[in-house]
């Protein structure tokens, strides 16, 4: 696989972040154990393509304006506007190739759960999981086969995950990753709601002010 390179430009703090976003640029910062903080901007279009590439957990290089290339970079974090779905900011991390790093891997479900044929519904409790390993060993994703979910009592826990060699996870082994929800019984679905008396406007009791 060819080396992943993401273009970026240096920026000055005095540049307003809203103005940058209006220009289709995302404010970013690069840091690391041996790296002086560097303020950057990344094209919104380029970063969206980077996220869709499926390589977001892999090490890559940043190519700056002027041709300078910075290697051993990881996408540490990014903030998304929950209303507009736009990326607001990005954190890049330059790692030490000889030291382990913690990264969040997306969890991908494969296979068919027999319990679904019984009317159950798949409940994925974790969409991603934090693991620790050397940068060179970072997996692209973590695959979970749900064909083991044979009945409504079946659950895949963290302890059941098939982690790649030299990749560790420090989350409680008993944490549920994916399970099956039993369908609601018909009598429960059709059970009438209790009759609740709603006070008319102006009839609600008002706390009495204590006498002075």
Q: What is the pLDDT of residue 202?
A: 41
The position carrying tokens 């696989």 is 1
Put simply, whether the predicted model's pTM sits higher than 0.85 gets the answer no
pLDDT (tens digit, 9 = 90+) per residue, 66-87?
889 999 999 999 999 888 788 9
Question: In this model, does residue 27 exceed pLDDT 70?
Answer: yes
What single DSSP character describes residue 15?
S
pLDDT (tens digit, 9 = 90+) per residue, 99-121?
999 999 999 999 999 999 999 99
Residue 193 burial (CB < 10 Å; 0-12/13-18/19+)? exposed
Percent of the chain with pLDDT over 70: 85
Q: What is the pLDDT of residue 190?
A: 55
Question: In this model, does residue 195 exceed pLDDT 70?
Answer: no
Q: How sure is the predictor about 13, in pLDDT bands with cuts at 50, 70 and 90? A: confident
- Whether the CB-CB separation of 28 and 42 falls below 8 Å is answered with yes
pLDDT (tens digit, 9 = 90+) per residue, 155-193?
999 999 999 999 999 999 999 999 999 887 655 545 555
* Count of other CB atoms within 10 angstroms of residue 7: 16
CA-based nearest residue to 78, from 109, 108, 125, 40: 40
Domains of the chain: 5-96 (2.40.240.10), 102-183 (2.170.120.20)
Mean pLDDT value of segment 146-158: 95
Residue 95 burial (CB < 10 Å; 0-12/13-18/19+)? buried
Question: In this model, does residue 204 exceed pLDDT 50?
Answer: no
């Amino acid at each position: 696989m060819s080396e992943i390179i993401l273009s970026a430009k240096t920026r000055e703090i005095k540049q307003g972040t809203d103005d940058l976003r209006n220009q289709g640029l995302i404010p970013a910062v690069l840091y690391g154990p041996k790296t002086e903080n560097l303020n950057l901007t990344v094209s919104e279009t380029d970063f969206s393509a980077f996220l869709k590439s499926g390589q977001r957990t892999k090490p890559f290089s940043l190519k700056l304006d002027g041709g300078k290339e910075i290697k051993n970079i990881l996408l540490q974090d990014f903030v998304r506007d929950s209303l507009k779905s736009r990326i607001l900011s990005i954190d890049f991390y330059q790692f030490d190739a000889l030291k382990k790093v913690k990264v969040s891997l997306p969890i991908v479900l494969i296979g068919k759960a027999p319990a679904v044929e019984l009317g159950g519904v798949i409940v994925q409790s974790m969409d991603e999981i934090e693991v620790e390993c050397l940068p060179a060993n970072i997996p692209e994703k973590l695959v979970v086969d749900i064909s083991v979910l044979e009945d409504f009592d079946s659950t895949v826990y963290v302890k059941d995950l098939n982690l790649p060699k030299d990749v560790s996870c420090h989350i409680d082994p008993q944490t549920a990753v994916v399970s099956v929800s039993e369908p609601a019984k018909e009598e429960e679905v059709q059970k009438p709601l209790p009759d609740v008396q709603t006070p008319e406007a102006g009839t609600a009791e008002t706390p009495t002010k204590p006498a002075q």
